Structure 1
Amino acid sequence: MRRPPAAVTALTNAQDGMVARRQLRPLGVNRDHVAAGVRAQRWAERSSVVVSTFTGELTRRQHAWLGVLHAGPPAIVGGYTALEFHGLKNWHRDDLTILVDCEEHLEPLAGISWFRTRRPLGLWHSREHALPLARVEPAVLLCAAYEPSWRTAQGLLAAVVQQRLTTAARLREQMERLKPLRRAPRFRVLLAEIEGGAGSLAEVDVTRMCREQGLPRPHRQRRRKDTGGRWRYTDCEWDLPGGTTLVLEVDGAFHMEVEHWEDDLRRHRGLTRPGRLIVRCTSREIRDEPFQVAGDLRALGLRALCA
């Protein structure tokens, strides 16, 4: 096979070395040219539709290109995969999600999940990336709407806001454009709690605990300087009668890892002051035993709203 035309090189460079056969034909590269490149082991067939201008394993980004090129326009990367490429941390899923319209049957591809929707995918395309990605707001709302676990769906919405990929206000605006949307009423309640200051699902659970147990809502994410002069943000605080501040720090599962555990102990020491009482609980306790946590907070001086 001769050196590919400059237009082909530019196209494959823009697509991380991945290209659909339908893209090559208008550029003068026919089936015989592709077959010659494959035989020479300069190119590789990745599906019945897509080839690459290299051999070897695909990166995750190239795998995503395989999905959208195989499906063809208006397919875009969606779900957890789109959020991963937008920078969401700690929510990795092995399979890649490709959003497609529902008019065409697609053959299975290893590691790729097709999600069919009649939504206007062309309007969801993020213009900040060469890879066809859904924007954060439609990607996360559609993903959360069809996530089997409601708790996981809640955590996902809280995470995209906590990690500053979007805001509760932008999610609420996008919900209006997605009508009808599964779980929309529950999403509105959750977004109101997040907008009220809850930075994580655990903080949402604390708010729910306080409401159900008749306790005052805490101050969230107060800025405190530790003994080393570093600014920290506490999870939840209440100002008690007499001037004492009660601080509740909620630990997730990752806090059990040794390095995080030691960091938390150091943080705890650094924030402790006379008149500042710091207690800790796990996110599981807040979720499954809120009555127990509330009882412990009352024993430490937190007054019920009716008291």
Structure 2
Amino acid sequence: MGEERVDAAGRVHLLAGASDGIVRVRDVPWLDAHRLQREIDAGRWEVVRRSITIVGAPMNERSTWRLALSSASPRAALDGVTALRCAGLSGFEDTIHVSVPRGARVERSAAVRIHHLRDFDEDDVQAVDLRRVRPALAALRAATWAVTERAAYTVLAMAVQQRIVGAAELDASLGRLPQHRRRSKAIAGAVVEIGGGAEALGELDFAQLCRRHGLPRPSRQDRLQRPSGVFYTDARFAAYGVVVEIDGIQHLTVAQARQDHRKHNELQLSGDVVLRVLGAELRCDPEPFMRQLQRALASRGWAG
């Protein structure tokens, strides 16, 4: 009997070693309840959220993901930021997100946010080691579930910057998102900006903000000939010598940053005041920048 127990325990330990220290109870149907209980009573194993953990074995982030999936239905998949982190995203922390089909029975946990999805589709799931939603859809859902629009924009931008997903993939997956009265437009706008349409998008937002704040109407895409080249301004208040440059995510590349610095320096040398703002800032939190712009215009003679 002792030899049989060691055999069973050894098999469980082998499985645990290949799966971040976690073995789902449903994956070891050959392990009967009496055998399992003997290992628990001996202090060698614990059962956490329908999974066996080896007492004293090192645990890592992937272990917590496995436990999260284990507590949900067999069709559960990591989703949102968690799916992106599983795919390699770094630098963005959040609650563990797991999606299940609507109506699935799950074990609730304060550490895991379960999303019951009406449109849950197995074709959206990658079953490579850990079940996770494909990056493009996971990124868009992460943006939808984010606490703020700033966080929504950030997770989309980081996913593209770190090559977890391409901008074109995000755009192609937009139709999969349910309509959200507040977020849909903002997320679609962020995808456009990330995809390289920041100029048109940012300038449109900016023109609306100027009207809302009672500011003069700026000219757009003014062509300026300067000693180091020809430059186009995003928005220019020529009567007051104030220029606004609206930066999208593509401005973070070295080549674009070099061009931006040349333009900035030329405008400053010609006497203009140059203010820069992220396109996302105009949508998420424009008021601090608009106050700066009012100050700049007032210092150049605008009477308000």
For the superposition of Structure 1 and Structure 2, which TM-score range results when normalised by the shorter chain?
0.5 to 0.7
SS at 1:126 equivalent:
strand
AA paired with 1:22?
R
Distance in 1 (alpha carbons) for counterparts of 2:39 and 2:187: 51
1:198-238 CA-to-partner distances (Å, cap 9, x unmatched) read 59xxxx868844775534335853866xxxxxx89359457
1:233 aligns with 2:263: no
Does the CA contact (< 8 Å) of 1:205 and 1:287 recur in 2? no
- How high is the TM-score relative to the length of structure 2? 0.67
Structure with greater proportional strand content: 2
Residue of structure 1 in register with 2:242 after alignment: none
1:152-195 CA-to-partner distances (Å, cap 9, x unmatched) read 2233222322332212210111123x154434444333222221
1:91-135 CA-to-partner distances (Å, cap 9, x unmatched) read 212x312212222332323422222112334222235x4122222
Residue of structure 2 in register with 1:65 after alignment: 66
1:241-271 CA-to-partner distances (Å, cap 9, x unmatched) read xx9256xxxxxxxxxxxxxxxxxxxxxxxxx
1:15 aligns with 2:33: no
Alignment of 1:1-80 (within 5 A): 1-4=5-8, 8-9=12-13, 11-25=15-29, 28-47=30-49, 49-55=50-56, 58-80=59-81
Does the CA contact (< 8 Å) of 2:104 and 2:116 recur in 1? no
Name stretches of at least 5 consecutive residues in structure 1 with no aligned partner.
Answer: 225-230, 247-273, 302-307
Alpha carbons of structure 1 residues 175 and 223: separation in structure 2 relative to 1, 3 Å = closer
1:155 aligns with 2:161: no
Alpha carbons of structure 1 residues 141 and 295: separation in structure 2 relative to 1, 3 Å = same
1:116 aligns with 2:138: no
Does the CA contact (< 8 Å) of 1:74 and 1:121 recur in 2? no
Question: Following TM superposition, where does structure 1 have runs of at least 4 consecutive aligned residues deviating by more than 4 angstroms?
Answer: 5-10, 204-207, 210-213, 234-238, 277-286, 292-301
Paired positions, count: 257
- How high is the TM-score relative to the length of structure 1? 0.66
Alignment of 1:289-304 (within 5 A): 289-294=288-293
**Quick one: which of 221, 227, 236 aligns to 2:251?**
221
Structure with greater proportional helix content: 2
Report the Cα offset of residue 289 of structure 1: 3.2
Alpha carbons of structure 1 residues 296 and 163: separation in structure 2 relative to 1, 3 Å = farther
Alpha carbons of structure 1 residues 295 and 109: separation in structure 2 relative to 1, 3 Å = closer
SS at 2:290 equivalent:
helix
SS at 2:90 equivalent:
coil
Q: Identity over the aligned pairs, expressed in percent?
A: 20
Report the Cα offset of residue 294 of structure 1: 4.5
Alpha carbons of structure 1 residues 179 and 169: separation in structure 2 relative to 1, 3 Å = same
Report the Cα offset of residue 43 of structure 1: 1.6
Distance in 1 (alpha carbons) for counterparts of 2:150 and 2:299: 30
Name stretches of at least 5 consecutive residues in structure 2 with no aligned partner.
Answer: 211-217, 222-233, 235-244
Distance in 1 (alpha carbons) for counterparts of 2:155 and 2:291: 26
Q: CA RMSD in A?
A: 4.0
